[in-house]
Amino acid sequence: MLTRDSGPQPADFADVRATNLAVVLRHLRTDAPCSRADIAAATGLNKATVSSLVTDLIERRLVREVGMTENRIGRPAMMLVLDGSPYAAIGLEVNADYLTAVVLDLAGERLLSWRRSFTGAASSPGQAIASLAALAKRVLAKVTREERRVLGLTVGVPGLVDADGVVELAPNLGWREVDLRKSLLTALNQPSYPLLVENDANLAVLAEQRFGGQGATADLVYLAGGAGIGAGIICDGRLLRGGRGFAGEFGHLPIDPAGPLCGCGRRGCLEAMAGLGALIRRALPETTASPSEFGPHVDEIHQLAKAGDPRVLEALAATGRYLGQGIAILANLLNPECVALGGYFTVLAPWLIPDAERELLAGSVAGHGGGTRVIASALDSSAPAAGGAAHILDAIDAGALPTP
Amino acid sequence: MLTRDSGPQPADFADVRATNLAVVLRHLRTDAPCSRADIAAATGLNKATVSSLVTDLIERRLVREVGMTENRIGRPAMMLVLDGSPYAAIGLEVNADYLTAVVLDLAGERLLSWRRSFTGAASSPGQAIASLAALAKRVLAKVTREERRVLGLTVGVPGLVDADGVVELAPNLGWREVDLRKSLLTALNQPSYPLLVENDANLAVLAEQRFGGQGATADLVYLAGGAGIGAGIICDGRLLRGGRGFAGEFGHLPIDPAGPLCGCGRRGCLEAMAGLGALIRRALPETTASPSEFGPHVDEIHQLAKAGDPRVLEALAATGRYLGQGIAILANLLNPECVALGGYFTVLAPWLIPDAERELLAGSVAGHGGGTRVIASALDSSAPAAGGAAHILDAIDAGALPTP
DNA sequence: TTTGTTTGTTTAGAAGCCCAACTAAAGGCT
DNA sequence: AGCCTTTAGTTGGGCTTCTAAACAAACAAA
């Protein structure tokens, strides 16, 4: 069956071809290097069909032959791999205090990983977009110098992004109703490659799915710990966006009606209880935490935790408990297989997970937390940008091959 | 494009054919009666292809010609409709106090709607399964007498159901680890049609999507109000089941840590605050509510609300507020377009919705509640069984046509 | 050298789509 | 009445692309 949910779109031979090209490409992504015969055996496609498909992919420079096997009975096989070299997928991220850029080749190898500091909260949207466009241009220039074709560019933003790439609301950037996609299209001179804008946690979960080592987890959540706490949610293998693209606002789950005031105006939101601001206040009460200095404070907490400082350990345990209460809500509603603690939570995860898991087990209706595991993300702060690039690769893997 | 997420499955001509047959079938479901030319124009398929597909569908007795148009310029068109008569899709539901059965024909017309009282909570799983199998056999006998072919049978259960049709936990039935699918397969003599077991709220949301008049809402939640409160969730057009099929446990969202004790052992779960038991206690404090007598109590509350009884109105308003808090959590995490109040909530919805919407607006991060609307379900208590039958039709619409 | 194994290509066949031309069956106009 | 216009549906040919089966190529083992 070709499609069980393609809506009203009829199919023709071109669709068969595109589907099968994508099947071969995906097989090579996961099992390279392998021969045409291997692909035929693994996919069920006819050997002749595989030969035809591989010829096509080689002509499009998506696949490359890398030499023969030796010392085996029978005719030696010509091994195939994805050919990353002629293409590049670009991911960018705007955040309150930095911009990041990641470029992947077709095979998923990281070609570039830049991070530059940036005063997002202090800038106007126009200034921020200019900085972002400047970074994009530097990246594009480097990619072009290497004679790579750009497959697409995705920008992650810490806020609500609608389906047209308009940032409805990004509190930490001070943005509201910013048409980021349109502005960037203009700044980059109406490029021919796809340019997308997405929520940063949504992109991070794509990166976690592709690079996080959780295998082919079809139901995965990434929690982006920072001043706020965003969630990127993958259900049944697909990113969950909701009707208007505003899904995943994990940080505003109500945890304690008598809790501290949250930036959104309510009391006791999860991020007011378990966000970095609250953690720093609890762990380092002498410090006055400002969002632009989270990094050093997290390092300090990390060091003190390793040294066994009791106040820090208790602060982390409390944060883990609140997080666990939020994760229990996720588990009851979405029953994910895995929740990855990302952002600033990643390095602190060893001290957060035990208490979070305890709350999860206590708070979930299904036994054993419905099978939900809590883990530390395998990624660093480049996750959203890497996910942006991975998002482009996902489209390729799904069959949207670049035209030859 | 045939499929963007069909996994590793390659495609061939049979898939193209199946896809296009399904496209024609779906068009006829929504736009019948219409002519071959209409279908070609609407779907983009070639006229010749549509003729061939329609011939095929008529041979399979899925489609019927119903006569010519008249009084129009040009050659009269032969109008086509879905031919419901040779097929039947069966949905059953087990609940604490009743069993229901619904049979739909291929066109979605209701052929049968049975309800019989039943003491689920008082019976052992074996007795309950025997009653259910007896009902199924009566339904099957009737369908067979009408010379209809059974397309499939789906059973709804108020509890956690895993992917293999094992009921892990159904508190209101007193079930734990009951392999309902296997038992029914045996009782029905290993039938050749598909037999599925699903959570009742999951089936109800399928019914709401198909029959509820919300059009093609791709992000929809159905809240099944009873002793507990289950949620059936459709995201991006697909049922959300989670990693082990345990998603949608809306009733155990924590609302008030100091609230009343819930059946699950915690305090202040949404269903302990806003379930029917709590509503009846607040609205009719003289009564001692037992789950098997919810129906009459709801009727009484409904009458008193219409009469303007202040205590009942306040009880309903409180229930609406708690529900709204839960819906706000849904809106922040999933951003559905629409939340339908079902089960016993349906008739009370006019008194619940205003307060629920107020809480939703107050509790959602995105403006205007992220666009989420709260409505009364258009369906009655047969919704899960109807959804079970609709689930079979969904598979047909997706291309799994019955073999000729 | 012969035999067996494995790889990948070639050739023929079939399925099923699209296009274009055709037939069919009406209403409208002179 | 006769012809034109309009719309519906069929027919035949061409095209793409899958499959199956035969075949050629390259090597190891005997």
User: What CATH number does the domain containing B176 carry?
Assistant: 3.30.420.40
Do A172 and A283 lie in one domain? The reply is no
Residue B294 has pLDDT above 80, yes or no: no
Residue A312 forms part of a structural domain: yes
Last residue of a domain, one of A82, A109, A138: A82
CB A82 within 8 A of CB A73: no
Residue B213 confidence (pLDDT): 78
Q: Which residues lie near nucleic chain D, judged by CB under 7 A?
A: A 13-14, 16-17, 20, 44-49, 52-53, 68, 70-76; B 10-13, 35-38, 47-48, 51, 55, 72-78
What percent of chain B stands above pLDDT 90?
A: 65
Distance (Å, whole) CA A389 – CA A186: 21
- Please give the residue range of the domain that contains residue B47: 13-82
State the nucleotide closest to B46 in CA–C1' terms. C18
Do B326 and B228 lie in one domain? The reply is yes
Residue B110 has pLDDT above 90, yes or no: yes
Q: Which residues contact B97 (CB under 8 A, 6 or more apart)?
A: B117, B118, B119, B120, B121, B291, B292, B294
Interatomic separation, CA of residue B88 and C1' of nucleotide D30, rounded (Å): 65
B244 vs A335: CB contact, 8 Å cut-off? yes
Residue A6 forms part of a structural domain: no
Token couple for A349: 């995860």
Residue B184 forms part of a structural domain: yes
Q: Which of A172, A166, A350, A309 is nearest to A245 (CA)?
A: A166
Do B289 and B360 lie in one domain? The reply is yes
Do A346 and A219 lie in one domain? The reply is yes
Chain A residues within 8 A of B233 when measuring between CB atoms: 333
Residue A2 forms part of a structural domain: no
Do A292 and A349 lie in one domain? The reply is yes
Do B172 and B123 lie in one domain? The reply is yes
Q: How far is CA B326 from CA B3, B136, B300, B340, in A?
A: 35, 36, 26, 13
Do A371 and A389 lie in one domain? The reply is no
β-strands B195-199, A373-376: how paired?
unpaired
CATH number for the domain that contains residue B47: 1.10.10.10
CA distance B10 to chain A (A): 5
The dihedral of CA A157, A158, A163, A166: what is its sign?
Answer: negative
Residue B137 has pLDDT above 90, yes or no: yes
Do A112 and A185 lie in one domain? The reply is yes
Helix (H, G, I), strand (E, B), or coil: what is residue B196? strand
Nearest CA in chain A to B263: A365
Do B151 and B134 lie in one domain? The reply is yes
Report cis status (omega within 30 of 0) of the bond before A404: no
A16 vs B12, B23, B252: nearest CB: B12
> Could you read off the pLDDT of B121-135 as tens digits, one per residue?
677 889 999 999 999
Do B119 and B31 lie in one domain? The reply is no
CA distance B374 to chain A (A): 14
Last residue of a domain, one of B23, B47, B82: B82
Do B321 and B220 lie in one domain? The reply is yes
Interatomic separation, CA of residue B68 and C1' of nucleotide D7, rounded (Å): 13
Give the position of tokens 């705007």. A94
Nearest CA in chain B to A25: B8
Please report which residue ranges of A193-293 form alpha helices under DSSP H. 200-211, 270-274, 276-283
CA distance A11 to chain B (A): 5
**Residue B153's beta-bridge partner residues?**
B90, B195
**Which residue's C-alpha is at the least distance from the C1' of D12?**
B48
Provide the CA B347 distance to its chain's centre, in angstroms. 18
Residue A287 confidence (pLDDT): 75
Report cis status (omega within 30 of 0) of the bond before B8: no
Residue A3 confidence (pLDDT): 40
Token couple for B257: 């840590």
In degrees, rounded to 5, the angle at the alpha carbon of residue B116 between the alpha carbons of residues B344 and B103 is 85
Distance (Å, whole) CA A249 – CA B365: 7
pLDDT class of B120 with cuts at 50, 70, 90: low
Last residue of a domain, one of A67, A82, A97: A82
Residue B289 confidence (pLDDT): 56
Distance (Å, whole) CA B137 – CA B318: 44
CB B82 within 8 A of CB B28: yes
CB B53 within 8 A of CB B40: no
Do A36 and A145 lie in one domain? The reply is no
Residue B2 confidence (pLDDT): 46
Distance (Å, whole) CA A21 – CA A18: 5
Chain A residues within 8 A of B373 when measuring between CB atoms: none
Q: Which of B92, B90, B93 is nearest to B110 (CA)?
A: B90
Token couple for A326: 């939020």
Listed by number, the residues of chain A in 230-289 with a beta carbon closer than 8 Å to a beta carbon of chain B are 231, 233, 235-238, 240-250, 252-254, 256-257, 264, 266
Chain B residues within 8 A of A247 when measuring between CB atoms: 333-335
Helix (H, G, I), strand (E, B), or coil: what is residue A396? helix
Q: Provide the domain count of chain B.
A: 3
User: What b/e string do you get for A282-308 counting C-beta neighbours within 10 Å, with b at 16 or more?
Assistant: bbbeeeebebbebeebbebbbebbeee
Residue B404 forms part of a structural domain: no
Listed by number, the residues of chain A in 33-72 with a beta carbon closer than 8 Å to a beta carbon of chain B are 43-45
Residue A4 confidence (pLDDT): 37
Q: How far is CA A379 from CA A382, A393, B302, in A?
A: 7, 18, 54
B19 sits in which H/E element: helix B13-31
Nearest CA in chain B to A329: B253
Q: What does the pLDDT profile of chain A (404 residues) look like in tens digits?
A: 444 344 468 898 999 999 999 999 999 998 878 999 999 999 999 999 999 999 999 999 999 998 887 777 878 889 999 998 899 999 999 988 889 999 999 999 999 999 998 876 677 889 999 999 999 999 999 999 999 999 999 999 999 999 999 999 888 888 999 999 999 999 999 999 999 999 999 999 999 999 987 777 889 999 998 888 999 999 999 999 998 888 999 998 888 878 888 877 788 889 888 988 889 988 887 776 565 677 788 899 999 999 988 988 999 999 999 999 999 999 999 999 999 999 999 999 999 999 999 999 988 887 787 889 999 999 999 999 999 999 999 999 988 888 77
> Could you read off the pLDDT of B254-276 as tens digits, one per residue?
888 788 888 777 888 898 889 88
Chain A residues within 8 A of B254 when measuring between CB atoms: 325, 328-329, 363
Q: Which of B386, B400, B378 is nearest to B26 (CA)?
A: B400
Helix (H, G, I), strand (E, B), or coil: what is residue B13? helix
Residue A99 forms part of a structural domain: yes
Give the burial class of B317: count Cβ atoms within 10 A of its Cβ; 0-12 exposed, 13-18 middle, 19 or more buried. Answer: middle
Residue B176 forms part of a structural domain: yes
CB A391 within 8 A of CB A154: yes
Q: Which of A158, A333, A340 is nearest to A263 (CA)?
A: A158
Mutual angle of helices B180-187 and B125-145, in 10-degree steps: 50
Residue B174 forms part of a structural domain: yes
Q: For A75, what's the count of Cα atoms within 13 Å in the CB-facing half-sphere?
A: 6
Q: Which residues contact B50 (CB under 8 A, 6 or more apart)?
A: B24, B36, B37, B39, B40, B43
Mean per-residue pLDDT of chain B: 90
In degrees, rounded to 5, the angle at the alpha carbon of residue B285 between the alpha carbons of residues B284 and B287 is 70
Token couple for A89: 């997928």
> Is B5 near chain A, with CB under 8 Å?
yes
CB B224 within 8 A of CB B233: no
